[in-house]
Amino acid sequence: MADHATPAAHASTEAPGAAHHEEPSAFGLTAPAFVSLAMIVVFAILLWKRVPAMIGAALDGKIAGIRDQLDEAAKLRAEAEALKAEYEAKAAQADAEAATMIERARAEADGIIRRAEADAAALVERRARMAEDKIAAAERAALDEVRARAASAAATAAEALIRDKLDAQADKAMVDAAIAELGKR
């Protein structure tokens, strides 16, 4: 029976609030104190080796690198904008030159059309004059031919009349009258 009493007695000692249990310690420090001390030592080593300064210097280097990249990007952007402006100016100049060339071509085409119209009018006038000259020459030739035929017909008719109407006595009277006329002068 004695064995049964011991667990009961033991159970009574483990009841909550009945007994106080101590944590293990070394050199008077408990586990949380050792963790805190280790953290302080690590921070002290980090400060002693100037790790925050190295981290700051590394970050400053990164910042300087990023700043350089931003400056380079700004320069590239400025150059790109200058090139864009230059090409826009060239495009505007090319458009203006194209408009000028088109206007010049239109003016030349209008001049060519005016010259062609004037040349055509002059050609028509010249051809009309040549046709009128040919018609006038044909009329003169026809008139000359008609006159020549009329003169030939008149001469033939006069010769026939003279032969029929004049004989030797009439001829003698005409010659005498012509001589008398000459003598008076």
Alpha carbons 57 and 63: distance in angstroms, whole number: 10
Phi then psi for residue 27, to 5 deg, are: 50, 30
The structure tokens listed for 27 are 């050199």
What's the rounded Cα separation, in Å, for the pair 136 and 130?
Answer: 10
The encoded tokens of residue 157 equal: 């008719």
3 state DSSP class of 22: coil
Distance CA 24, CA 131 (A): 144
Structure tokens at 24: 């293990």
Query: Block means of pLDDT (10 residues each) for the chain, length 185 residues?
Result: 45 52 78 88 82 85 94 95 94 94 94 94 92 92 88 83 74 83 80
* Dihedral (Cα; 81, 83, 89, 93), 10-degree rounding: -160
Nearest 10 degrees: CA dihedral of 177, 182, 184, 185? 150
> What is the pLDDT at residue 178?
86
CB 19 within 8 A of CB 13: yes
Instruction: Name residue 79's amino acid.
Output: E
Residue 18's pLDDT is 52
pLDDT at 20: 66
φ, ψ for residue 26, nearest 5 deg: -135, 135
30 and 23 Cβ atoms separated by less than 8 Å: yes
